[in-house]
Chain A
Amino acid sequence: MKTIVKHRLFWPSASLLALIVINTIARGSFVKITVRDGELYGALIDILRNSAPLMLVALGMTIVIATRGIDLSVGAIMAVSGAVSLQIIAGSDEPDNIGVVATAVLAALGVSLVLGAWNGFLVSVVGIQPIIATLVLMLAGRGVALLITGGFITTVNSEPYEFIATGYLLLLPFAFVLAMVIVAVVGFVERRSALGVLTEAVGINPEASRLAGVRSRGIVWGAYIVSGVLAGIAGILYSSNIRAADANAAGLLIELYAILAVVLGGTSLMGGKFSIAGTVIGVLIIQTLESTILFLGVPSAQSPVFFALVVVIVVLIQSPRVHTWGRKLFGGSRSRDSSKPSSDVEVAA
């Protein structure tokens, strides 16, 4: 029992389960899943489908945070990627042609890759703090997306493109299947090769890992490229879902939700150890919470108040001072040596 509680995914999974149970008690239809024409429907399936863009962005964010970085530009990259692909489809004569859609998607991914590489260049080669380096693109990116769409909201009617967000594959929403396949691929590459360990090494101590012969520059650069490409895919999903490229609204605040998902999943913002499974659970918690808030009849615009509470609770649980209080309350024997972390604060106060 103790090993289960100690497991790093215990608290995230428990919170997700608790959320689902509360929802089920409040409305029985929450867990009901129906099959219609070989496609699954239900509140849970909606959560899975809607979680796809955030899942991809949070996956990239996990890798970047593991290298002790942060990527604020993901929302802007989503906007650019959606703008590029829709502009190509809208400009072609036959928007239903699979070849046109494939070209558009590939072009969007190419642009996202370049933007990710740009972030990585600033961080790993020029040596700028990640927050600031990606802030540049966060500011400028939306401007670029607006220029691409000419300041308008480009809309298209293209069946193959719409399939990406609304289609079904093997009973499940295609968007969710796509996100899960990508999560599996990235997880496989990180955990079944040395890459994951090297990434953690760079995040824990960049200087030591460099001295140990790890090519930290390449690893950090790669992390931002991965984050950029994943944000690009998320941008395609978003624009496909609303059938429009909205440069102002696409991916707005998603960087913050993605960071929240990563933190909820148990990955520390200080870099180092990361958990992709944790991030997946974090994303599902956010999406379920969003759905719960909507169900409670709270206007979705007011939902940030709840997320603020969640952030505060999560950071308090992680804080050393609260750990000390907890130990003082539930057993005094270990409290002496563990009160050390907060001693410097007391000196200051």
Chain B
Amino acid sequence: MTTLDIAPAPERPSLASRYNTFMSRHASLMPTFAAIAILIVIFVGAQIYFGNFVTPRNISSLLLDNAYLLILAVGMTFVIITGGIDLAVGSVMAFTGIWLASLLAGGTPAVIAIPVIVLGGAVIGLLIGVLVQYFDVQPFIASLAGLFLARGLAYVVSLSSIKVENEAVLWLQSTRWHLGSWYITPTGVLALSVVAIGALVMHFTRFGRTIYAIGGNEQSARLMGLNIARTKVAVYVISGVCAGLAGLVLTAYSGAGYPRNGIGTELDAIAAVVIGGTLLTGGRGYVLGSMVGVFVYGTINTVISFMGAEQSWTRIIVGFLLLVFIVVQRAIVARAERRG
């Protein structure tokens, strides 16, 4: 190491030392790079194995099938970077989804029904945020209350599934904008816009920087005079809004609202966020990383259905990947602590 530091001329550092500098400056990017590498490995491996895996059609349907998870993961990223967690998203998605279907079946026009259900998601998020911030409830327990509440409300709306016949909502799913053999649906566009807005807010606004500061060290952020209370409540509201949008997308995707939807989806979202390189202790992570995490999850799903294997393998493999990533994260944090 010492020879490397001395040997190269100052204006022309060697490739190795450049690599070292880059890595030490961007240590928090490492897990996300690892997720991208894994995604590429899965793609290449599946392409070699199946021969027809990486096709425009397959990759387009990857976005289509996982649009709701992508939206949930963006909201979850905001919450996790502040050091919190939101267990309610799966249930809120089920509740808003069935509520939308029920409103539409009752004759409410889509332009009213959609904002109403997104607002419904936001209100549950607000409830969780207020419990966390103003009543010192642990995020885990507060969002647990949100989970129970939303799941129960979903069944209050309807005990069985409700078919959607509204054209505007079905249009979201059935329209395919083609570019060659690539296609994208309005739900896909919606999901990608949520990702883009999330990433922009995170990196180019004061609000986004406050979120990172809270996750890094809440006490220091408070002493810096940042508005902790408003930001912490806001991330849960954002997560609730995302869950509301996910409810819309899922209802459009399946053409029906169903109160049993999304059981355990909060765990899939958390797993995708962690695989995408966000640290569960907060302070580090990227919205774009979470998108990669969702694609890793979705690709594993597709590979398993290609192989015709049991779907239960998806969960086992995702569980295993989650383990690998948290061990890697643990090592990174431990290294950072030794330096600090």
Interface residues of A (CB under 8 A from B): 70, 122, 126-129, 131-133, 135-144, 146-147, 151, 247, 252, 256, 259-260, 263, 269, 299, 301-309, 311-312, 315-316, 319-322, 341, 344-345, 347-349
Contact = CB atoms under 8 A, between A and B. Distances in A.
B140 A315 contact: no
Contacts of A345: 133-134, 136, 229
Contacts of B148: 256, 304-305, 307-308, 311
A261 to B, nearest CB: 13
Interface stretch (B102-110, B150-158, B195-203): B150-158
B152 A302 contact: yes
Contacts of A144: 312, 316
20 contacts: A131-B140, A132-B326, A135-B270, A139-B271, A140-B315, A142-B315, A143-B315, A147-B310, A151-B310, A247-B312, A252-B263, A256-B148, A259-B144, A269-B141, A299-B159, A304-B148, A305-B149, A308-B145, A308-B148, A321-B134
A143 B145 contact: no
Nearest to B149: A308
Given A132-B274, A137-B319, A349-B229, A316 B135 contact: yes
A146 B310 contact: yes
Contacts of B151: 304
Interface of B: 85, 131, 133-138, 140-142, 144-149, 151-153, 155-156, 159, 222, 227-229, 259, 263, 267, 270-271, 274, 280-281, 310, 312-316, 318-320, 322-323, 326-327, 330, 334
A14 B131 CA distance: 25
Contacts of B85: 131
A347 B152 contact: no
Contacts of A142: 312, 315
A135 B140 CA distance: 13
A303 B140 contact: no
A140 B320 contact: yes
Q: List 9 A-B pairs, minimum CB-CB distance, nearest first.
A: A140-B319, A305-B152, A304-B152, A308-B149, A146-B312, A143-B315, A308-B148, A139-B319, A143-B316
Contacts of A344: 222
Interface core residue of B227, B267, B315 (most chain A CB under 10 Å): B315
Contacts of A252: 263
Contact of B137 (A122, A131, A319): A319
A123 to B, nearest CB: 11
Contacts of B229: 345, 348-349
Given A269-B141, A306-B152, A132 B312 contact: no
B145 A312 contact: yes
Contacts of B316: 140, 143-144, 147
Given A128-B326, A131-B85, A142-B315, A319 B136 contact: yes
B152 A308 contact: yes
Contact of B155 (A302, A311, A319, A321): A302
